[in-house]
Homo-oligomer: A and B are copies of this chain.
Amino acid sequence: MRASGLRPTRQRVALASLLFGHGDRHISAEELHEEAAAAGVRVSLATVYNALHQFTEVGMLRILPIEGAKTYFDTNTSDHHHFFLEDENRLVDIPEGPVTVANLPEPPEGMEVAHVDIVVRLRPRRPR
């Protein structure tokens, strides 16, 4: 964390251990705020927002590519993709594996690929 140029304040350290102490997860600011409260950590919601965005800037988190009001953050920043369950509005990791994208066109001049997000949208199977 110090390596990222972020001061290891009490709040940031506490939030980071909540975030990264329980495996990979998808979480919103509100949820993290509640979790902190439940864990007895006193942090304001504004600070949670700040921390989440700062962590994202330094590459510790990634913003999930889903539409909708809330922003969800992913603690897993490695290459992996998601199923989106349309009926429950929920994202599920696609297990790391051999998923590959082929034949991507060249990015425009002066740009480079930061990363590729794939969302496989699922719905209940339609009766025939």
A positions within 8 Å CB-CB of B: 63-68, 71-72, 83, 85-86, 94-95, 97-105, 107-108, 110-126
Contact = CB atoms under 8 A, between A and B. Distances in A.
Given A65-B66, A65-B119, A124 B111 contact: yes
A99 B102 CA distance: 6
| The 3 residue pairs across chains A and B that have the minimum distance between CB atoms | A98-B103, A111-B122, A114-B121
A63 B65 CA distance: 12
18 contacts: A63-B67, A65-B119, A66-B67, A67-B71, A83-B107, A94-B104, A97-B103, A98-B102, A98-B103, A99-B104, A107-B122, A108-B122, A113-B121, A114-B122, A116-B118, A116-B121, A117-B121, A118-B118
A117 B119 contact: yes
A114 B123 contact: yes
A117 B95 CA distance: 17
Contacts of A67: 63-66, 71-72
A88 to B, nearest CB: 11
A119 B116 contact: yes
A72 B66 CA distance: 11
